[in-house]
Amino acid sequence: MPRDDDLRFDPDAPLGPKFWSTGPVDDRRRVRDASIRPLNSICRLIAPGPLLGSGTVIARRAILTAGHNLQGVAHTRWHIDQGFNQTPQYYPLKGAREFPHPRWSGARDPNFDIGLVALAEDAPTSFPSSVVSEDDADASIYVCGYSLDDPNFQRFDVGSLTNAEGNVAGHTCDTAPGQSGSPVLAYDNNSTRLIGVHVYGYAELDDLFPGPVNKAVLLVPEIVEWIDGILQGSEN
């Protein structure tokens, strides 16, 4: 989280209806300035109909998102806006090809509900992914993306990771439909790191994570190796 977040984020912006709130109140706040890093690399992904997802440009021609965002969607239908916040400074991008993780596209394994969208052109900014570490278990995190209740602005909430089962970890950041694929960002005084992707609300996978806890797929070494292989042009 940037240190000047009190100047760049609007805590008083009105919220839509309560969705995947991890407590009695939906605490998501509207991003005031989407031009700062890493918020300028967050994208909204739009397809015909009600489908809205979020993602992050992690390389010049690659967006990291949730695997289920890519399920049954042809790349020619995507409309991608980078850093959109109802301002003229956003960048429309053209998708070229989807790469859902093979263990998601094959067995629908929730531990690998992650994917990449290859771009047909270079994006103006990117924010690389990082391998999650033991230190991140105690770090503050925030989840920021686009939601159906406020699709023209990024919304975020601050929280923490909870217990993990396999590659999936619970988190206490409020989210809403449309934020699947949003980056899970760990931060401290030294850095901000993209360590996961938000994929499920608290009512999903409740057999593994009972109670009001949302879920993220963490960027464990196996997943990061797969991402690197795609970025290098080889499908692993």
Between CA 101 and CA 113 the distance in angstroms is 7
Closest CA to 194 of 35, 30, 41: 41
- Per-residue pLDDT, 131: 95
Contacts of 12 (CB under 8 A, 6+ apart): none
Burial of 105 (0-12, 13-18, 19+ CB in 10 A): middle
Between CA 23 and CA 213 the distance in angstroms is 9
> What pLDDT digit, counting tens, does each position of 59-75 carry?
999 999 999 998 765 54
Yes or no: say if 16 and 151 are a contact pair by the CB < 8 Å rule: no
**In which residue are the tokens 């239908």 written?**
77
Q: Could you tell me which residue, 195 or 136, shows the higher pLDDT?
A: 195
Between CA 112 and CA 206 the distance in angstroms is 17
Mean pLDDT of 216-231: 96
Q: What element of type H or E holds 225?
A: helix 221-231
User: CA distances (Å), 29 to each of 11, 13, 74, 143, 175, in order?
Assistant: 5, 7, 32, 11, 10
Q: Is the pLDDT of residue 236 over 60?
A: no
Q: Could you tell me which residue, 8 or 114, shows the higher pLDDT?
A: 114
Q: What is the pTM for the complete model shown?
A: 0.88
Structure-block tokens of residue 2: 């940037």
> What pLDDT digit, counting tens, does each position of 7-57 carry?
344 445 445 445 667 777 788 999 988 888 999 999 998 876 666 899 999
**Can you name the residues that pair with 9 across neighbouring β-strands?**
31
Closest CA to 52 of 201, 152, 172: 152
